[in-house]
Amino acid sequence: WPKLLSVNTDDLPPLPARKELREDSKDYQQVLLDVRRSLRRFPPGMPDDQREGLQEELIDIILHVLQRNPQLHYYQGYHDIVVTFLLVVGDRLATALVEKLSTHHLRDFMEPTMDNTKHILNYLMPIIDQVNPEVHDFMQSAEVGTIFALSWLITWFGHVLSDLRHVVRLYDFFLACHPLMPVYFAAVIVLYRHQEVLDCECDMASVHHLLSQIPQDLPYETLISRAGDLFVQFPPSELAREAAQQAERTAASTFKDFELASVQQRPDTVLRQRFRERLRERLRGEERTETILARPRANRFVKLAVMGLTVALGAAALAVVKSALEWAPKFELQIFP
């Protein structure tokens, strides 16, 4: 791993003092919460005192990297990647490797917004389409999107695979490859399960539930080989245009659900704004309708009227509700239990 990341193991910087590091960090409380929830990422049977010591080191590594690189922003799931390095190479070398990784492979995930993460996810469906158009069309009909693969991507599968050996093998592969390789591997998993997908009910909830439950007994070497083949056959440069078109078709591109999560808007507020946009397009010049939508909700009867409009507008409006609920911060732990 040091060779793959071009890290000089003979010149590793010392770690800063723990107390000062934690006092000066704006991310300490969130990192602490995430690390406390990371019990299953440690080998079963590890003594409690050893695990607790590693968790303290995990916090220090994360805060150290963020302190040295203020342009990077912590995200939930980052600790799942860092703990893998800690368990494999120890705290000091892990700090150097994670810092290099964070400023290269993981940089897009550590931007102030999730726009780049959205863009990377948009490569998933074009890859699937190139190999199995039937599965692609089925998923499009189900309107499942790509959110099921979010935790796969931003944790390099560390959060969803229970066996450390499999996680480490994937890290070997990802470190030696293009930063988009995790997306190709995610596509390969979906393609490997194509019959399960096609046998599923063609609706968002059913397909999302199926795909988000990743099997633990995957043929990893076969899938790794297949992902490498697909990368050569369909390089990112050839998929870029289709990925951009995919972004235009996604709900995220129209009502910006990632941004909604950051500002904690209420779903009814989102509905009001989205209704206003839709009605301007479909009912040009009908000022009465627009006035109703713009009026503040003073009582429950107005809310019921707005919900009635939701039904009339169809699937587009319903997607707003689902997304707003899905991405609200209080539901964040549903992605990372």
pLDDT digit of tens for each residue in the chain (337 aa)?
A: 999 999 999 888 787 778 888 888 899 999 999 999 888 889 888 999 999 999 999 999 999 999 999 999 999 999 999 999 999 999 999 999 999 999 999 999 999 999 999 999 999 999 999 999 999 999 999 999 999 999 999 999 999 998 999 999 999 999 999 999 999 999 999 999 999 999 999 999 999 999 999 998 999 999 999 999 999 999 998 888 877 776 554 433 333 443 443 343 344 444 445 445 555 555 555 444 444 344 444 444 434 343 443 434 444 443 433 444 344 433 344 444 4
Q: What is the pLDDT of residue 247?
A: 54
For residues 27 and 74, is the Cβ–Cβ distance under 8 A?
yes
Instruction: Tell me if residue 254 falls in helix, strand or coil.
Output: helix
Q: What is the pLDDT of residue 253?
A: 39
For residues 283 and 289, is the Cβ–Cβ distance under 8 A?
yes
**Residue matched to tokens 């009465």:** 288
What architecture does CATH give domain 114-270?
Orthogonal Bundle (1.10)
Q: What is the pLDDT of residue 246?
A: 62
Taking the C-alpha atoms of residue 49 and residue 10, their distance in angstroms, rounded to an integer, is 30
Q: What is the pLDDT of residue 300?
A: 42
> DSSP for 262-314?
HHT--HHHHHHHHHHHHHHHHSTT-HHHHHHHHS---SHHHHHHHHHHHHHHT
Q: What is the pTM of this model?
A: 0.72
Taking the C-alpha atoms of residue 202 and residue 139, their distance in angstroms, rounded to an integer, is 8
CATH fold of 2-107 reads: Helicase, Ruva Protein; domain 3 (1.10.8)
Please report how many Cα atoms fall inside a 13 Å half-sphere around the Cα of residue 101, on the Cβ side: 27
Q: Tell how far CA 26 is from the center of its chain.
A: 22
In sequence order, the 6+-apart residues with CB closer than 8 A to the CB of 251 are 145, 257, 319, 320, 323
Instruction: Tell me if residue 217 falls in helix, strand or coil.
Output: coil
Angle, helices 48-68/78-89, rounded to nearest 10 degrees:
120
Taking the C-alpha atoms of residue 19 and residue 136, their distance in angstroms, rounded to an integer, is 51
Q: What is the pLDDT of residue 326?
A: 42
For residues 225 and 219, is the Cβ–Cβ distance under 8 A?
no
The type of residue at 297 is R
Q: Where are the domains positioned within the chain?
A: 2-107, 114-270
